[in-house]
Amino acid sequence: MSTVEWRVDKDTHIVFRKRIFSRRKVELNGQPVEGEWRSKRFAFNLADGRPAEIELTASTLSRDIDLKVDGKLIPDVRYVPKDLRCPACKAEIQLLDEFCAKCGQDLGTPARFIGQRSVQGATSAIRLLAVLFALVGVVMFFIMRAPTDAALRNLAQFDDQEVLEPIDGKTYTAGELRKQIVWERNGVLVVNLLLSVIMLVLAWWSRFKPLPAILIATAIYAVVQVTSAIVDPATITQGIVIKAIVIAILVKGIKGALSLRTDNG
């Protein structure tokens, strides 16, 4: 069942409910609103006569349920802080205020809080990336154990200082090559765990400062894809749809976080 609530002002409370195998229902101040859905839109009037409309729209990975009053997009209660205050003078404001009644600060439209939806999506994506990095690191570590052990057995016959044939234009001693091989196995685990920790820290930081956190997470994700592509160019096309979706969610999160920024930063 999906339920979405909007508090347009202290006298107007709208609820949308959709249970499985039942019709969509809209309630205004606890009373059901009669009307017809047309092309996923439901138009009705508020108690004071203002026109309102609920619309179902598809987004990147889910469906958005949007309310408009007088043509203005109204964010639902999940995205609106309980204590709304002017960012400049801290006076109490209401959701529909576009200017602070005390200091005149430009607040923007109520839709500015919709950005929080994209921010939450991006934060979830960052947490998911953290889990994926950790999983990949652990799995790859165990996969690489056998070939690493085989390579080390082949090198066992050489002393550490013995110089080997150049590999890709680089000359190694046996000792250096052993270290390199061991590092390639352990490094996969270390690097992925490090990336996982960084992503977890960024996901935590995005609760307070979403814009810088999502910017850095996007930059790291892009670099990881580029590094994989350099090591093995075939990975450019592997999972390209998933990569595009992740980038789209992160970029949307950046736009959402940008819309939440005030002039005071």
Q: Which residues would be at the binding site for other proteins (CB under 8 A)?
A: 88-89, 93-94, 96-106, 108, 168-171, 179-180, 182-183, 187, 190-191, 194-195, 198, 209, 211-212, 215-216, 219-220, 222-224, 226-227, 229-231, 233, 254, 258-259, 261, 263-265
Nearer to other proteins by Cβ, of 65 and 189: the residue is 189
Name the minimum Å distance from CB 262 to other proteins: 9
Q: Please, which residue, 138 or 220, has the CB nearer to other proteins?
A: 220
Nearer to other proteins, 67 or 257 (CB): 257
CB of 89 vs other proteins, minimal distance in Å: 8
d(CA 56, CA 70): 17
Of the two residues 81 and 233, which places its CB atom closer to other proteins in the complex? 233
Least distance from other proteins to the Cβ atom of residue 250, Å: 12
**CA distance from start to end of the chain:** 38
Min separation Cβ 189 and other proteins, Å: 12
